[in-house]
Structure 1
């Protein structure tokens, strides 16, 4: 079998609610989902998810090769771009191809990817994550009540712009989850919006009222000294890594003991997750993939010994995608369909009038004042109104 071509598709995910974080909110609740299809001369097609703008540059590295040689082809893709660098959109494109190749490998074996990767159990423990900074308090409780009904005992909230609001909302979600456990696992993700001048002080204020399982991305992703300072001052763990691209970016953080929960971005592919998990395991650290459409990395998470928990962001799927899994019992129950278990209805995608971000701003755009605010308190410079939506910065 040989790789003969690829196709690029687009679909959308209708969340049914505003989604976002400290950097911005997509108020319309619809986001783009890029789909990469890798074709073979045997008629099998591999499915990869995630942005892949550099596909035309990456495809020559895999064209004509046997897709079963996934890890070798992953390294070929890295080598193919080493002069210009393989971070950012290039790394994302490599991840999309890598995902599609793993999908093909498992399909050729006639089994789900979690079996191909050596997992013994189809269940992947998860935590609920609503991308919820744009919700008011009542909407927040309603959302996490649905997660509690599916057996979840842990939740991650988006915050960092209003400490009082974060404390109140974390407490409210804890009460919702107590239907399943006496001690809910609570995480707060501030998405790199704090600076070093804020992180230690604001986290200490939150920890006076709330017991956290981890604080996520308290400072910039590459700030080894800053992450280490937060970890040394806090009772909770520091989690980071979802935006790091390549093991070389993880090494300084792990060598300095600057993170205690090693995260990986699902859009970077299966091989990246497996290698990052091995690196973390060598440092006696747990690994936790962030959520994405269809939870494709859950197959790999089921196979590693140091998987802690996987982020689950929604119970639905994008338009035209069917995923063989069930969100239940506080996690992901993977199915038996070959490969990733993701089927694509191309006719449904062709009927879409638009496929893109509903607005030009959102969590994918870093505000100019991120990391430069003096306080995290609604109504002050650098903070949003209490409904969580961004506002124009004004001088004090």
Structure 2
């Protein structure tokens, strides 16, 4: 079997609510979902979610090759762009192709990916994470009630701007998730919005009210010294890594003891997650994938690694035109038996769709505030 070509599709995810973090929000709740379909000479196709970045430059590393050689092809893609670097947006294109390769490999084997990767259980522990910074208290309660109804007992809130707001919102969510008689696990994601001493003061004050499980991306992703100092100054764990585009970027963080929980962005693909999990496991650290809405397939990889802690579940819906072979129950994700990564595409529906959205819109969470880490007094969650 040989890879002969690829095609791209663009669909969208309708979150049915505003989504965002301390940097900004997308009021429409409509975001883009790029898809890649790898074609073979035997008619079997592999589907990848992720990015369309640099696919044309990357594809010669795959063309004419047997798609089952996933690890070798992953390294070939990285080698193909080594002069200009595989990091940044290019890494998203590698992730999309990589996911499509794993889909092909599992389909050829006639097995769901979680079983092919060696998982013994189709259930993946998860936590609720609604990208909730722009929600009113009423909306917040409605969203997290739906998580509680499906057995979720852990939640990560966006915050880090106004302490009183975060205390109130954590209280609301804690009440919802404690209905089963357990003390919920609570996490805060500040999306790189603090400097070191801001983080120490803010987290310490919040810890007087709540026993935080972790604080996520409190400082810039590369600040290994600052993150290590912060971890030593607070009770909660420091979680980071979702925006690191390459295994080598983890080395200074892990050497400095800067990450208590090692995260990997699901949009960067399956092989990246598997390798990050191994490196974390070698340090006796847990691993947690972030953003499964952007790459559902990484859930199967999470089921197969020994140090998986919990996976970010952002929404129960599926991107338009996609059917995902999974369910949400008992506080996690239950994977199905469809061969491959479990994505079925209705290309005719996607081609006829008129709705679109963009993660990169200027008011959205992917555009960092110019005053992040520089505020003396904060006036609101999404205000400058």
Do both share a fold (TM > 0.5)? yes
CA distance in 2, matches of 1:282, 1:241: 16
- Alignment-derived partner of residue 339 in structure 2: 338
Deviation of 1:184 after TM superposition, in Å, equals: 0.2
Q: How does 1:228-307 map to 2 (within 5 A)?
A: 228-293=228-293, 295-307=296-308
- Matched-pair contact (CA < 8 Å) for 1:295–1:312: no
CA distance in 1, matches of 2:42, 2:154: 44
The yes-or-no answer on 1:62 pairing with 2:62 is: yes
Q: Secondary structure at the match of 2:367?
A: coil
- Alignment-derived partner of residue 120 in structure 2: 120
CA distance in 1, matches of 2:235, 2:87: 33
Q: TM-score, normalised by structure 1?
A: 0.95
Deviation of 1:371 after TM superposition, in Å, equals: 1.6
CA distance in 2, matches of 1:333, 1:46: 22
- Matched-pair contact (CA < 8 Å) for 2:74–2:98: yes
- Matched-pair contact (CA < 8 Å) for 2:19–2:29: yes
RMSD, aligned α-carbons: 1.1
Deviation of 1:304 after TM superposition, in Å, equals: 0.4
- Matched-pair contact (CA < 8 Å) for 1:288–1:308: yes
CA distance in 2, matches of 1:305, 1:256: 23
Q: TM-score, normalised by structure 2?
A: 0.98
Q: How does 1:13-24 map to 2 (within 5 A)?
A: 13-24=13-24
- Alignment-derived partner of residue 360 in structure 1: 362
- Matched-pair contact (CA < 8 Å) for 1:198–1:374: no
Deviation of 1:360 after TM superposition, in Å, equals: 3.4
What's the CA shift string for 1:62-111, capped at 9, x where partnerless? 11000000000000001111110110111110011000000000000001
- Matched-pair contact (CA < 8 Å) for 1:26–1:361: yes
- Matched-pair contact (CA < 8 Å) for 1:67–1:104: yes
CA distance in 1, matches of 2:181, 2:301: 27
- Alignment-derived partner of residue 179 in structure 1: 179
Q: Secondary structure at the match of 2:304?
A: coil
What's the CA shift string for 1:23-75, capped at 9, x where partnerless? 11001110000011111111011110011221011001111000000000000
Higher alpha-carbon deviation: 291-300 or 130-139: 291-300
CA distance in 2, matches of 1:109, 1:76: 23
Q: Secondary structure at the match of 1:347?
A: helix
CA distance in 1, matches of 2:351, 2:125: 35
- Matched-pair contact (CA < 8 Å) for 1:200–1:229: no
The number of residues matched between the two structures is 382
- Alignment-derived partner of residue 151 in structure 1: 151
- Alignment-derived partner of residue 224 in structure 1: 224
Q: Secondary structure at the match of 1:182?
A: coil
- Alignment-derived partner of residue 27 in structure 2: 27
Q: How does 1:90-101 map to 2 (within 5 A)?
A: 90-101=90-101
CA distance in 2, matches of 1:22, 1:86: 28
Unaligned runs of 5+ in 2: none
Q: Secondary structure at the match of 2:219?
A: coil
What's the CA shift string for 1:174-197, capped at 9, x where partnerless? 110011242100000000011123
- Matched-pair contact (CA < 8 Å) for 1:153–1:181: no
CA distance in 1, matches of 2:57, 2:260: 36
- Matched-pair contact (CA < 8 Å) for 1:227–1:238: yes
CA distance in 2, matches of 1:9, 1:83: 28
CA distance in 2, matches of 1:178, 1:215: 20
- Alignment-derived partner of residue 322 in structure 2: 321
The yes-or-no answer on 1:42 pairing with 2:42 is: yes
CA distance in 2, matches of 1:202, 1:243: 23
- Matched-pair contact (CA < 8 Å) for 1:152–1:180: no
- Alignment-derived partner of residue 137 in structure 1: 137
Deviation of 1:354 after TM superposition, in Å, equals: 4.1
CA distance in 2, matches of 1:320, 1:85: 33
- Alignment-derived partner of residue 374 in structure 2: 372
- Alignment-derived partner of residue 349 in structure 2: 348
- Alignment-derived partner of residue 8 in structure 2: 8
- Matched-pair contact (CA < 8 Å) for 2:22–2:159: yes
- Matched-pair contact (CA < 8 Å) for 2:264–2:289: yes
- Matched-pair contact (CA < 8 Å) for 1:132–1:140: yes
